[in-house]
Amino acid sequence: MLRIRGTGKLATGAGSEDWRWHNGRSRGYDEIHVSHGQKWRQGGQDVDRRSLDMAEITIYQKPTCSTCRQAVQLLKDSGKPFTTVNYYEKPFTKAQLKNLLKKAGLSPKDILRTKEDIYKELGLGNKELSEDKWLDVLVTHPDLIQRPIVEKGEKVILARPAESLKRIL
């Protein structure tokens, strides 16, 4: 799969299929170009442009969660390829969760499930913790993580309600 890195913007030309990735320099367009067809050019190679439209979608979920099941069904119905990760079987690392939250513009407290028994047992309602400590708590106790979390490229959302994931499809 082709991945676009760096900053820039897509610019359109006169034709509906004339797209260029602009790198922000005054010299013009240098990374990707397509002209009236299904092939993109990058570094002298033709690339199927559909691969550019399909950033990989990953849904971090708990299969027994009804909201997660609804989100998975919406993804299936969309016809877009996606990967599911049961974060109970493949737990988040602290760095991974921190990165997902950064992409989503959320803090650890924003995804905290405050109605869980473990939240009350640990007395978390009365604790003032640093972001780093909250991440430790969430990684140690995945039941406290709101779900599902959906990642598509550089975008991440907390898909609650499940229909909210349509924003990134």
pLDDT in tens, 35-66: 333 344 444 444 444 444 557 999 999 999 99
68 is catalytic: no
**The listed CATH number (3.30.565.60, 3.40.640.10, 3.40.50.300, 3.40.30.10) that belongs to domain 57-168:** 3.40.30.10
Write out residues in the chain with pLDDT < 70, as ranges: 1-54
pTM for this prediction:
0.68
The domain spans of the chain are 9-53, 57-168
Q: What is the distance between the alpha carbons of residues 126 and 134, in angstroms, rounded to a whole number?
A: 13
Q: What is the chain's mean pLDDT, rounded? A: 77
Integer Cα distance of 38 and 113 in angstroms: 45
Catalytic residue among 54, 55, 65, 118: 65
Q: What is the reported pLDDT for 9? A: 39
Cα 85 to Cα 58: distance, rounded to the nearest angstrom: 7
Q: Single out the residue of 54, 44, 169, 154 nearest to residue 100, CA to CA.
A: 154
The per-residue pLDDT for 53 is 52
Q: Please give the pLDDT value at position 42.
A: 40
End-to-end CA distance of the chain: 18
* Residue 25, number of CB atoms within 10 A of its CB: 9
List strand residue ranges (DSSP E) for 9-133, in order. Answer: 9-12, 19-22, 29-34, 39-42, 45-48, 57-61, 82-86
pLDDT of residue 2: 35
The contacts of residue 77 (CB under 8 Å, 6+ apart) are none
